[in-house]
Structure 1
Amino acid sequence: MTLDTVKKLFVHHPLFRLLSPLFSGTLVYLLILLINNNIGQLQETFLGQELYVCIGLAYLIQEYARLSLLWFERWSQPRNFVLKLVLHLIGSVVIGIGLVSAAIYLYFTYVLGYTPNHRELFIFNSIFSLITLIYLVLYLSYQFLYKVNTELITGEILAKEEIEADFRRFKKGINPELLFESLESLLVLMKKDTNRAELLCDHFSSVYRYMLARKKRELVPFLEELNVLNELLQLLAYLPYRKITLGRVGVTDTWIIPGSLLTVVERIIRSTIVSPEAHLTFDILEDSDRILIQYVPEEVLRGGFHTERLSDIAGSYQFYTDKPVQVVVKEPLKIVEIPKLKLDENSHY
């Protein structure tokens, strides 16, 4: 528990610090009268000097116990919590006894005119040591309650993040924009050319079957995703985007996160100016540790293609490699760099 959290404990509240010693000091005074069989004095001198002394001692001990909680939290040694708590307990009680003994000795010597005996010191020290222990128990109870609540809140936050991540994966797998565009094109083709409509359905089903099934796999071979990419390119040919041509493919056997290649290519296409006459050609090459998707950009004026648009893919790759997913400009080319991944022989993809 941090020092700021300890400072939020109710014993540090100004109102509690002001009122609590009044009640605890009064209670100590009543206990001392009860122990000394002087309860009959209540009717005569309840607001006597001894009551004010007990309240003053209560202020002294409670302020000391409060400050000891802050000191205790600053200690870095020992690291073992139980040992640290025992040392704090012993130290607080010993110092508290010293403070009470000194205060009682000064009061008896300079105010009452005689030295307190051992019985009187024992009574005062026992009661005020109990008050110190109560403070420590309050701190310990608060600490364990804080720990339990923190674990519960952390669990709820993790559960919420997991639900949000599942929703993002579900939305990414469904890809509603591509879904509705494909269905709209299908509705148009069904009235004009049923054969082409059937081909669109074939490409659409191939792409979406892969997109929905990929959640069960962590990694896929590059060539498997490349085959689905060809289906995606043929599907996009039916949509109102620039015609796409896959140029050179020079990637050997490697592994990628399923859907990453499809997502990159689709976002490249959506960031390119629509033109029925022009074509967009991109090459998929490699170097020692990266897959390079390069093309000559002709981007829309709003929403160009840049590294920030690949943040979701980059987040997925962080689980497997320290190498970044990024967009690099090397005139006249724009290059998307995706790290190569190796499959552990003991893993199940």
Structure 2
Amino acid sequence: MKKLFVHHPLFRLLSPLFSGTLVYLLILLINNNIVQLQETFLGQELYTCIGLAYIIQEFSRFSLLFFEHLKEPKSFILKIVIQLIVSLIMTMILVSSTMYLYFKYILLYEVNIRELYVFNVIFIFITLVYVMLYISHHFLYKINTTKISKEVDAKNAIEEDFLQFRKGINPKLLYESMETMLVLMKDNPDEAEQFLDYFSSVYRYILTKQHRELVPISEELDILNSLVQLFNQLPYRNVIFTSKLYSKHWVLPTTLLTLLERIIRTTIVSEKHSLKILLEEIDDYLKITYSPEEKLNRHLSMGSLKDIVLTYTYYTDQKITITTKGNLKIVDLPKLHYHENSNH
């Protein structure tokens, strides 16, 4: 869309043939020499008009490229006015010079003012068409770019809303919890009631906090412990979660819950071994460390955390990273500090 069709090689080759022929017919019509069409249509004058059309159209195309890459003036309107004036003057010079040389050295007589005027008017019109094509293409491209940008923004907003909806509902965890609850209600009603408390705490937090920008990390940790207890009742590896935090700061709602769930879901299920997860703070980062025994077809990566990474870019310039050190996997999560006049 950005490249104007007049720069296409096929258009450059064929267009002057048609425009040159049209110029020749117009001149015959103006001079009342239409009878010559039956006698010498493919004559010297036709080839001259086609050749001059090639010269004018290539010059017009070059002027479009030149003014498009010209940085000054900044104003688009002023640049168009200058382009129009320069193009018209140069077209008149090219047409007048070419016709003067043709009449003097080919036809062997002086060109008259009337013939120069006719040729100049016709080829100036061709130059004007080129300039108008450029202007219309510029505004059409601008309008289409704006529309596409709005559509992309709307699409991203819909996708973000859908991701937030899925994140809030978390259908997989919901069904797993309901199925486990059905089993516990038959075998151990007291344990089922406790399981229901963990389940309701997690979902109440997800549904009520997801529209807040930031929450104190202490609130997130409280629910994180409930989520750990919830997963320990599900058919996954038993989780031992330890927190070593000594300062107060903020976190995006459900971030730690999402991280913990994805770590658990990418770990091979085992009844004999536990999954130990350590949360600590070092400098400006929260570090989530665990010993990975990941599934063959699924592992924790930056791609699996792209929703969290995208959200964090709005609040901090520091990056979320995943590194491997020995037999440990470490997720570095930037700390967020709440200020009234800033999001950082």
Q: Which residue of 2 aligns with 1:137?
A: 132
CA, structure 1 residues 338+34, in 2 after alignment: closer, same or farther (shift >3 Å)?
same
Match of 2:247 among 249, 252, 257: 252
- Structure 2 equivalent of residue 172 of structure 1: 167
* Residue 338 of structure 1: aligned partner: 333
Query: CA offsets, 1:205-258, max 9 Å, x none?
Result: 211122223331111110111111121122112112232233343242100011
Relative distance call for 1:33 and 1:263 in structure 2 (3 A) is: same
State the alpha-carbon separation in 1 of the partners of residues 25 and 217 from structure 2. Answer: 83
How much identity, in percent, do the aligned residues show? 52
What SS class does the counterpart of residue 127 from structure 2 fall into? Answer: helix
Instruction: Name the counterpart of 2:221.
Output: 226
Q: Give the letter for the 2:69 counterpart.
A: R
Root mean square deviation, CA, Å: 2.7
Verify: 1:81 aligned to 2:76, yes or no.
yes
- Counterpart of 2:15 in structure 1 is 20
State the match for 2:293 in structure 1.
299
Q: Deviations over 1:111-158 (max 9, x none)?
A: 222222333222221221111111111121122112222222222222
Determine if the alignment matches structure 1 residue 151 to structure 2 residue 146: yes
1:95 aligns with 2:90: yes
> Structure 1: which amino acid aligns with 2:175?
F
Give the structure 1 partner of residue 180 of structure 2: 185
Aligned 8 A contact 1:62 1:132 in 2: yes
Amino acid at match of 2:73: P
Question: Given the superposition, is the C-alpha separation of residues 105 and 306 from structure 1 closer, same or farther in structure 2, using an over 3 Å criterion?
Answer: closer
Change (3 A) 1:177 1:40: closer
Query: Aligned to 2:57, which of 49, 53, 62?
Result: 62
Deviation for aligned residue 1:277? 4.5
Which letter maps to 1:77?
E
One-letter code of the match for 1:317? Y
Taking the aligned partners of 1:279 and 1:66, their CA distance within structure 2 comes to 72
Q: Deviations over 1:233-286 (max 9, x none)?
A: 221121122322333432421000111111122223233443435443433322
Match of 1:243 among 238, 247, 254: 238
Question: Which residue matches 2:211?
Answer: 216
Structure 2 unaligned residues grouped into runs of 5+: none
SS where residue 112 of structure 1 aligns?
coil
Aligned length: 342
Q: Deviations over 1:72-94 (max 9, x none)?
A: 33333333222222222222212
Does the CA contact (< 8 Å) of 1:299 and 1:305 recur in 2? Answer: no
Match of residue 29 from structure 1: 24
Counterpart Cα distance in 1 of 2:163 and 2:80? 46
C-alpha distance in structure 1 between counterparts of 2:161 and 2:117, whole Å: 65
State the secondary structure of the residue aligned to 1:253: coil
> How far off is 1:15 after superposition?
4.5
How far did residue 183 of structure 1 move? 1.2
Counterpart mapping for 1:275-314 below 5 A: 275-295=270-290, 297=291, 299-300=293-294, 302=296, 303-314=298-309
CA distance in 1, matches of 2:248, 2:174: 31
Distance 1:325 1:14, change over 3 A: closer
User: Could you tell me the TM-score, scaled by structure 1's length?
Assistant: 0.86
Distance 1:44 1:187, change over 3 A: closer
* Structure 1 spans left out of the alignment, 5+ residues: none
